[in-house]
């Protein structure tokens, strides 16, 4: 049984696709798999801008072999892909699994492969890197919103006003957030009370951005990260429609 989530974020300055098996959020602490194994593959040519077709095929073969042959000895918890790098992450109970993974990697000499490990009793890579925080999780909603605007004929590359609604537990928390809004590059909007909500003290802020996913992710992340210490959360996003000609 798996529960895979895919989202886009940055990794080493590149646009990246993250995949994480969400089921291990609760399972990892009760398992004895504290040895992290990570395998990163890149094109043999360090100047290449991406994997050629042969390299893509060989990486798929590498991935299948690692997952199949480590099954029962390690768990595959996530991956990160960019144009020039493919990284796979596993946790194992025994250190001898590391040698098994290394032996598989050596078969694929046509790729530049790094196979390494680290002891992670607190599963730091999973919880702090692969598993999405609120800002990263919002990127999934952002992608859905962008697609809905694309289908309506909006020009996604045009800068337009985007309004965010944020919700807080108390009026005091909302006020503390609004004081910081100019520093964040937003313009404060209205405030309102949503009594039936668990976070009833709401406000709107706005700013300008395109509706490309990397730009919108950074835009919403600024608000989410500022609201989080005040137990606030982003609850709605609304962008001006700009027709594509």
pLDDT at position 1 over 70: no
CA distances from 81 to 10, 50, 136 (A): 10, 11, 16
Between the alpha carbon of residue 239 and those of residues 117, 146, 160, 221, the distances in Å are 44, 10, 7, 16
20: pLDDT strictly greater than 70 = yes
- The whole model's pTM is what? 0.89
Q: Taking residues 85-114, what's their average pLDDT? A: 94
pLDDT on residue 59: 97
- Cβ 2 vs Cβ 24: under 8 Å: no
Domain boundaries, the chain: 4-130, 134-239
Q: Which two tokens stand for residue 171?
A: 């009026």
- Level-2 CATH architecture, domain 134-239: 2-Layer Sandwich (3.30)
CA dihedral 191, 193, 194, 198 (to 10 degrees): 100
**Is there a shared CATH topology between the 4-130 domain and the 134-239 domain?**
yes
- The pLDDT, as a whole number, for residue 232 is 97
Predicted pLDDT at 204: 98
User: 4-130 in CATH: which number?
Assistant: 3.30.70.1150
What 3-state DSSP class applies to 103? helix
On the question of pLDDT at 126 being above 90, the answer is: yes
What is the per-residue pLDDT across 146-178, written as a single tens digit (0 to 9) for each? 999 999 999 999 999 999 999 999 999 999 999
SS3 state at 149: helix
Per the document, the length of the chain is 245
Going by C-alpha positions, the residue among 24, 1, 14 that lies closest to residue 131 is 24
């Amino acid at each position: 049984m798996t529960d895979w989530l895919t989202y886009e974020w940055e990794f080493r300055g590149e646009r990246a696709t993250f995949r994480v098996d969400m089921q291990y959020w609760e399972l990892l602490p009760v398992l004895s798999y504290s040895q992290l194994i990570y395998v990163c593959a890149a094109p043999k040519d360090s100047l290449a801008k991406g994997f050629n077709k042969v390299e893509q095929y060989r990486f798929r073969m590498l991935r299948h072999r690692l997952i199949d042959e480590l099954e029962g000895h390690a768990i595959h918890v996530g991956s990160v892909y960019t144009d020039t790098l493919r990284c796979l992450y596993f946790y194992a109970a025994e250190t001898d699994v590391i040698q098994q993974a290394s032996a598989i990697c050596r078969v694929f000499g046509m790729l530049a492969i790094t196979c390494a490990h680290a002891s992670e009793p607190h599963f730091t890579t999973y919880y702090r890197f692969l598993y999405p925080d609120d800002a990263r999780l919002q990127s999934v909603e952002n992608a859905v919103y962008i697609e809905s605007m694309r289908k309506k004929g909006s020009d996604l590359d045009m800068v337009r006003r985007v309004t965010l609604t944020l919700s807080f537990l108390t009026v005091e928390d909302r006020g503390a957030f609004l004081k910081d809004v100019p520093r964040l590059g937003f313009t404060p909007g209205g405030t309102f009370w949503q009594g039936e909500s668990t976070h009833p003290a709401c406000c709107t802020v706005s700013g300008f951005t395109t509706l490309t996913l990397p730009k919108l992710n950074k835009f919403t992340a600024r608000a989410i990260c500022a609201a989080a210490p005040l137990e606030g959360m982003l609850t709605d996003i609304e962008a001006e429609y700009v027709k594509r000609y």
